[in-house]
Amino acid sequence: MTGMSHSNMTRNTVADLRIMEVPQIKDTRGNLAVVEAETIPFEIKRVYYLYDVPSDSFRGGHAHKKLQQFLIPLSGSFDVVTKDGFGNEKTFMLNKPNKALLIVPGIWRELTNFSSGAVCLVLASTKYSEEDYIRDLNSFIDYKNKKQ
C-alpha cells in the first residue's frame, strides 16, 4: 500500500505510516474484528503481544531494517512516537481495537503512555532477528542518511 517504499526502505518517512482500519462486525453482543491475510500488506511470520505494561514503561526505542509490523491496540491505549531519521516525527495514539498502525521498515519507534490493562498485539513480517534491529538513534540517523 505504500508503493515504492518497500523497495528502498531506507527512504521511508513518517508520511509512509498509516492507520489502517480492521474490518469489524458490530453487534450489541460485542464487536468482532477480523484480520485476514488480505487485510495487511505482508505475510505474517510472527505474532507477539505486550501486556502487563507498567504505565511509566518505555518500549521500543529501535528501528528495523526489513521488518514490517501491524500494531493493534487490543485493549487500552498507548502512544507510538515515530521518527524517520530525516528530522520528521509523528505520534500516533492507538486506542481503538479496530484501528491499527502499519509500521514500514526504516522507522524509529518508541511506545509510551500505556494505559492500565493496555495490550498491544503485533503482527510481524519476519521471524525474530536481532540483526534486523538498529537500537542506537544516532546509528539509525546515519543509516537513513548514508548515500545509497
The catalytic site residues sit at 62
Residue (51 or 128) nearer to ligand TYD, CB: 128
Question: Closer to ligand TYD at the Cβ: 31 or 139?
Answer: 139
Distance in Å, CB of 50 to ligand TYD, minimum: 6
Rounded to a whole number of angstroms, the minimum distance from the CB of residue 134 to ligand TYD is: 11
Please, what is the minimum distance in Å from the beta carbon of residue 44 to ligand TYD? Answer: 13
Site string (32-71) toward ligand TYD, x via CB under 6 A: --------------x-x-x--------xx-x---------
CB of 78 to ligand TYD, least distance (A): 11
CB 135 within 8 A of CB 143: no
User: Which cell is 77 given?
Assistant: 491505549
Burial of 56-76, coded b for 16+ CB within 10 Å and e otherwise, reads: eeeeeeebbeebbbbbbbeeb
Residues in the interface with ligand TYD (CB under 6 A) total 7
**Contact string (CB under 6 A) for ligand TYD, positions 78-117, x = contact:** ----------------------------------------
Between CA 109 and CA 17 the distance in angstroms is 11
Place of cell 491499527: 100
Radius of gyration of the chain (CA): 15
User: Which distant-in-sequence residues (6+ apart) come within 8 Å of 100 by Cβ?
Assistant: 19, 20, 21, 22, 70, 71, 72, 73, 94
How many angstroms separate the first and last alpha carbons of the chain? 23
Q: Which residue ranges make up the site for ligand TYD (CB under 6 A)?
A: 46, 48, 50, 59-60, 62, 128
